[in-house]
Chains A and B, each alone.
Chain A
Amino acid sequence: MTQIAHDHKAPAHGHDHGHSHAHGSHGHDAHGHHDPNLAHHFDSLAQQFDSAKLGIWLFLATEVLFFGGLFVAYAILRMRFPEVFSYASHYLDTIMGGINTCVLIISSLTMALAVRYAQTDNRKGLITCLVLTFLGAVGFLVIKYFEYSHKFHDNLVWGPKFYVPPHSAEGDLEAAVLKTAPAAPGTAITVENPAPWQVPDLAKKPAVDASAVKAASQGPSGVARANGTPAPAPAAEPAPDAKDQAHPGTHLEDASMPPNTHLFFAIYYAMTGLHGIHVVAGMGILAWLTWRAVRGDFSSKNFTAVDTGGLYWHIVDLIWIFLFPLFYLIH
């Protein structure tokens, strides 16, 4: 990435800078002495600033393409399994997602204000806004942690574990995952020695309805549907409403759950997880900017690092602006 201002490191007098200045003669005072904020390989402050901005924008373009691949994957999955997306979206908490959207918007605002304060020599305002932006990132991740942990607890995850009954003991999960791995076509499926969590189910239902069998037969290949296996009958108690977000853990007992629902959670964790990693990276940048602001590095003559760091933070917000309706707001 393009390096930003080499403040305090630029030589007091370097090579000949007398040649043409494409963007004017900023950066050199009347006596031709070198501006300490101007790196020697740039002609002028304007050229240095424009180079830094172009560099960060090229990096942001790669970020757009990076997420773009996942957006394409999302689009293809949604085109192929529209019923999965409209069903599984109800397991996401719109309130928490909406709050997180507002948290990111407000932190984007404080970041933009931080750039402004850096540009106008307001060190106190700059530090305050950087800290507020950092706290916005923390708040976003805390809310995301609660969302993730709730879903992990209910086995609303990617892969075969999605088809393991939630709330079973930790030791049983490994065995259950192994048992419920998608079976090859034509493989006979038998359940020997059912795990303890299966006993109550087996007492009430025939063995074919045991959750492990259902999981295997409705694996990602969808073979079981081709096989004509009927969806397991709902248990004695009525199937839980998909919109009941407080207790979505019983998704396996929900007869209305379409096949391949785990695909929604796979793309959900892929995209929000990658976004979350960017938030963590943004926290590192914000902490670094705050440290430098406290040290007094930034001023109206040297704010490029705040500006470019802010641009990164804004693209994180911008991507979430698309993620929020695409996952939380499916009608």
Chain B
Amino acid sequence: MAHHSHAEGEVHPEVGHVVPVRYLVGAGLALIVLTAITVASHSVDMGEANLPVALAIAMVKATIVALIFMHLRWDRPFNLLVLVASALFVLLMLAFAGMDVHQYEPTIFNGNPTQVEQTLQANAPGAPVAQVKSTNGGGT
């Protein structure tokens, strides 16, 4: 592969790309600093924002690892496409699972027996599962 960004005066392999030391050490330092920032942000109460902030910092760290340590900045773009596509498919799975999980929420025992019994009686009247509350909680 042709590269034109380096004049380090070192041995150059015929293939691949030699990442300068300053890039590697800089990436390592950035990752340590970002780790310190994410730990510090943990003790700051940002309400709902804590999780997005932590995930955003993790995304930046992951990008640094992928681009510098894993050479993707200089690698064939298709390898980057493979990584990004796999992450997108995880997000796709997360999105559909997240949509699906709430479909069954009313029938799950989550501390609201009245709602559960109403739902079960409405959807499946007389089914054995609908009798759970009366056999279980009758004495209390």
Interface positions of A (Cβ within 8 A of B): 23, 26-27, 45-46, 48-50, 53-54, 57-58, 60-62, 64-65, 68-69, 71-72, 75-76, 79-80, 94, 98, 101-102, 105-106, 108-109, 111-113, 115-116, 119-121, 185-186, 221-223, 225-229, 259, 300-301, 303-304, 307, 310-311, 314-315, 317-318, 321-322, 324-326, 328-331
Asked whether A45 lies within 8 Å of B21 as measured between CB atoms, the reply is: no
CA distance A106 to B31 in the complex (A): 9
**Nearest CB in chain A to that of B133: its residue:** A226
Asked whether B28 lies within 8 Å of A108 as measured between CB atoms, the reply is: yes
Asked whether A226 lies within 8 Å of B16 as measured between CB atoms, the reply is: no
**Nearest CB in chain B to that of A299: its residue:** B13
**Nearest CB in chain B to that of A77: its residue:** B101
Asked whether A221 lies within 8 Å of B76 as measured between CB atoms, the reply is: no
Asked whether A26 lies within 8 Å of B15 as measured between CB atoms, the reply is: yes
CA distance A81 to B32 in the complex (A): 31
Given contacts A109-B28, A229-B140, 6 further A-B contacts (CB under 8 A): A53-B79, A60-B82, A108-B65, A300-B14, A317-B69, A322-B55
Q: Does B85 contact A (CB under 8 A)?
A: yes
Residues in A neighbouring B109, C-beta threshold 8 A:
221-223, 225-226
Residues in B neighbouring A307, C-beta threshold 8 A:
16, 71
- Cβ contacts A to B, 23 pairs, < 8 Å: A27-B14, A53-B76, A61-B83, A68-B93, A72-B93, A75-B97, A75-B98, A94-B42, A101-B35, A112-B69, A113-B21, A113-B24, A116-B19, A116-B24, A185-B132, A226-B133, A227-B113, A303-B16, A321-B62, A322-B62, A325-B42, A329-B38, A331-B42
Q: A79-B98, A322-B58 are in contact. Are A121 and B11 (CB under 8 A)?
A: yes
Asked whether B113 lies within 8 Å of A226 as measured between CB atoms, the reply is: yes
Residues in A neighbouring B78, C-beta threshold 8 A:
54
Closest 4 CB pairs of A and B: A68-B90, A109-B28, A61-B86, A325-B54
Convert B72-111 into 0s and 1s, putting 1 for each residue whose CB lies closer than 8 angstroms to a CB of A.
0001101100110111011001100110010000000111
Query: B110-133: which have CB < 8 Å to A?
Result: 110-113, 116, 132-133
CA distance A301 to B13 in the complex (A): 6
**Nearest CB in chain B to that of A260: its residue:** B110
Residues in A neighbouring B45, C-beta threshold 8 A:
331
Q: Secondary structure of the B side of the interface?
A: helix
Residues in B neighbouring A65, C-beta threshold 8 A:
86, 89-90
Asked whether A226 lies within 8 Å of B65 as measured between CB atoms, the reply is: no
CA distance A7 to B39 in the complex (A): 45
Residues in A neighbouring B76, C-beta threshold 8 A:
50, 53-54
Residues in A neighbouring B15, C-beta threshold 8 A:
26, 45-46, 48-50
Q: Does B46 contact A (CB under 8 A)?
A: yes
Q: A116-B19, A222-B109, A222-B111 are in contact. Are A186 and B13 (CB under 8 A)?
A: no
Q: Smallest CB–CB gap between B85 and chain A, Å?
A: 7
B13, B19, B94 pick with most chain A CB within 10 angstroms: B13
Q: A54-B78, A102-B35, A227-B140 are in contact. Are A80 and B101 (CB under 8 A)?
A: yes
CA distance A80 to B18 in the complex (A): 47
Interface positions of B (Cβ within 8 A of A): 1, 10-16, 18-19, 21, 24-25, 27-28, 31-32, 35, 38-39, 41-42, 45-46, 50-51, 54-55, 57-58, 61-62, 65-66, 68-71, 75-76, 78-79, 82-83, 85-87, 89-90, 93-94, 97-98, 101, 109-113, 116, 132-133, 135-137, 140
Q: A68-B89, A75-B94 are in contact. Are A46 and B39 (CB under 8 A)?
A: no
Residues in B neighbouring A226, C-beta threshold 8 A:
109, 111-113, 116, 133, 136-137
CA distance A111 to B86 in the complex (A): 24
Q: Smallest CB–CB gap between B91 and chain A, Å?
A: 9
Asked whether B19 lies within 8 Å of A112 as measured between CB atoms, the reply is: yes
Residues in A neighbouring B42, C-beta threshold 8 A:
94, 325, 328-329, 331
Asked whether A325 lies within 8 Å of B21 as measured between CB atoms, the reply is: no
Partner of B58, one of A223, A321, A331: A321
Asked whether A64 lies within 8 Å of B87 as measured between CB atoms, the reply is: yes
**Nearest CB in chain A to that of B90: its residue:** A68
Asked whether B39 lies within 8 Å of A119 as measured between CB atoms, the reply is: no
CA distance A301 to B14 in the complex (A): 7
Residues in B neighbouring A310, C-beta threshold 8 A:
69-70
Residues in A neighbouring B62, C-beta threshold 8 A:
318, 321-322
